[in-house]
């Protein structure tokens, strides 16, 4: 009888703790590495097998070539997360990127040499991947 109660308690505790974790199958976040900061945008390499951004893009400032690169125009939002560091964030990309409108900053466009042509909007940004504990 004690053995059965112990097993039931162990299963109950396991269920409680496993319900706190987000399931990988429910994860919509994709790793996005910051490549460069420009005046009006942050340039990301999307670390996914799915083609989301420019298939190939060269950073003319350093001569490095990348695949799957996009421009994101909310530099203030990114600054909240990384404070100018070139780190990797985890994002959910808005599906309809054709509807995304950036600010027309003539000065910034003159400063930004050869940015990626693909513009995206992120609807969720995180410093950690999906294997984090939720607050519920």
61-71 confidence digits (pLDDT tens): 899 999 999 99
Q: Which residue has the tokens 């607050």?
A: 135
Residue 51 lies in a domain: yes
Residue 62 lies in a domain: yes
The reply to whether the predicted model has a pTM over 0.75 is: no
Q: Is 20 in contact with 13 (CB distance < 8 Å)?
A: no
Q: What is the domain range of residue 111?
A: 25-126
Residue 35 vs residue 8, higher pLDDT: 35
Q: What is the average pLDDT score of the chain?
A: 74
> Which residues lie closer than 8 Å to 28 by C-beta, 6 or more apart?
92, 124
Q: How many domains does the chain have?
A: 1
Residue 133 lies in a domain: no
Residue 83: the pLDDT is 84
Between strands 88-93 and 30-37, the pairing is antiparallel
Residue 111 lies in a domain: yes
Identify the band that residue 48 occupies on the pLDDT scale cut at 50, 70 and 90. Answer: very high
Residue 85 lies in a domain: yes
């Amino acid at each position: 009888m004690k053995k059965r109660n112990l097993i039931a308690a162990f299963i109950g505790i396991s269920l409680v703790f496993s319900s706190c974790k987000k399931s990988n199958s429910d994860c919509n976040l994709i790793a996005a590495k910051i490549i460069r900061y420009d005046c009006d945008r942050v340039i990301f390499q999307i670390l996914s097998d799915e083609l989301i951004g420019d298939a190939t893009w060269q950073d003319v400032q350093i001569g490095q070539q990348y695949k799957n690169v996009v421009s994101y125009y909310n530099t203030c939002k990114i600054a909240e997360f990384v404070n100018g560091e070139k780190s990797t964030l985890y994002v959910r990309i808005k599906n309809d990127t054709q509807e995304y409108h950036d600010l027309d900053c003539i000065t910034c466009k003159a400063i930004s040499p050869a940015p990626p042509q693909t513009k995206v909007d992120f609807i969720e940004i995180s410093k950690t991947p999906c294997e984090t504990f939720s607050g519920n």
